[in-house]
Amino acid sequence: MPYLSLNPATGKVLQQFASLDRSALPEILQHVALAQQRWAPLSFAERASYLHAIADALLANKDNYAQLMTLEMGKLRREAVAEIEKSALVCRFYADNAAQQLAPEVIASDASHSYVRFEPLGVLLGVMPWNYPFWQVFRYVAPARMAGTGWVLKHASNVPQCALAVEQVCRDAGLPENLFRTLLIKSRDVEAVLASPHVQAVTLTGSEAAGRQVAALAGQNLKKSVLELGGSDPFIVLADADLDWAVAQAIPARFTNAGQSCISAKRFIVVPQIADAFVARLQAAMALLQPGDPDLDETTLAPLARVDLRDELHQQVQDSISAGARPLLGCQVPDGPGAFYPASLLDRVAPGQRAYTEEIFGPVALVLRAADENDAIRIANDTRFGLGSSVWSRDIARAEAIAARIETGNCYINSLVRSDPRLPFGGIKASGYGRELSAYGIRVFVNLKTVWVR
């Protein structure tokens, strides 16, 4: 099956790319391993110069790369530009901070001198999704570059042009040949890459099902893995919340990237005192969202990335309505071409409905009504996912106490959830394991070597 690049706003095929033959992998991986061996001895300053050059190349061509994302996966143009800028930001962050983050750590022991070194691990595999086709790649490539590793990328099959563009960015920045390679391979060929003696670890961002498969393959081959999987993030609104601010932030929290984000606010959990008021304001704000051509400034709701994803989302919505959820807005497939779905609002979401138990990956807001504050916490934790969360209250100490009880990898108070190069990012439970970004992220794929001196 070829890699198919199509425009989700129109349904028109842009380009097709043949998948790489599995027989070519051993030679490619050997070349990457040799390039990594030449890269590893470079100083942090030398590596940083290349990473700054990558950031420069991204920004110099950000309009072209943004256009590519808009065409290939339907992202709003302004959101695509912001993604390129954030990709450049993470490159500069690690270029400027990696030397300190990976400095040897002295640890007192019975030795005369003992410390931990952070050494390059080798070649790493990234299995990346289509929803943030540049950011997802650079948020692991940037720390990996500074840590001295080599990388190969297996990107999603519907964003082949973005995948190849990422490799070209590295070439344009003067990165040594073969240090980073995009592999247009079939999903089943990930097994061959992980089995290679040249590949030491894998990081995957994607669905829960894909994570389970890759984690199993990594385990079979004794390769380290980091997984950032799905989420069903709770957005808990307490009685004393600033409702104007909460609703204003609820829109980007749920509908950025057409709701196709693991850290979207997927479940709005409200207490009785403000439930009706919050729902009314949320519905009014959602009704203002304007679907259309993602290349136009007036469009505020992008299409989904693929028609099959839109159809599966609609089935989840309809099944939930049949099981008792109340549709307040949208919830119908529009006429016309493309993978469009309207901003949709389901109230009274409850156990027994697909919307309660499954990740809803698209522009659908779910309202879950709690009996009280403790019940809101219970509902927030009543999921197999544990990626992001947010709490909305004027009482910061109270909100922090609630944050400590939420079972997620991160919690934001009075703000939408987002990733930041300065802070660790990742989840627990079925949302995966391991961390990206910050000093924690750069130390994931290195060899922590203990040195003991007498």
Contact 387, 362 (CB under 8 A): no
If we measure between CA atoms, which residue out of 361, 279, 277 comes closest to residue 326? 279
Catalytic residue among 228, 359, 407, 436: 228
CB atoms within 10 A of CB 255: 24
If we measure between CA atoms, which residue out of 141, 145, 155, 148 comes closest to residue 193? 155
Concerning whether 72 is annotated as a catalytic residue, the answer is no
CB atoms within 10 A of CB 37: 14
Tokens of 435: 């961390």
Burial 384-411 (b: 16+ CB within 10 A, else e): ebbbbbbbbbeeeeebeebbeebbbbbb
Concerning whether 262 is annotated as a catalytic residue, the answer is yes
Contact 141, 180 (CB under 8 A): yes
If we measure between CA atoms, which residue out of 137, 141, 119 comes closest to residue 128? 137
- Beta strands 326-329 and 390-392, pairing class: unpaired
If we measure between CA atoms, which residue out of 410, 422, 416, 362 comes closest to residue 385? 410
Catalytic residue among 262, 359, 407, 436: 262
Distance between CA atoms of 389 and 387, rounded to whole angstroms? Answer: 7
Task: Name the residue with tokens 């990709």.
Answer: 87
Tokens of 209: 């099902």
**Paired residues of 425 in beta bridges:** 436
Distance between CA atoms of 218 and 211, rounded to whole angstroms? Answer: 10
CB atoms within 10 A of CB 67: 15
List residues with catalytic annotation.
228, 262
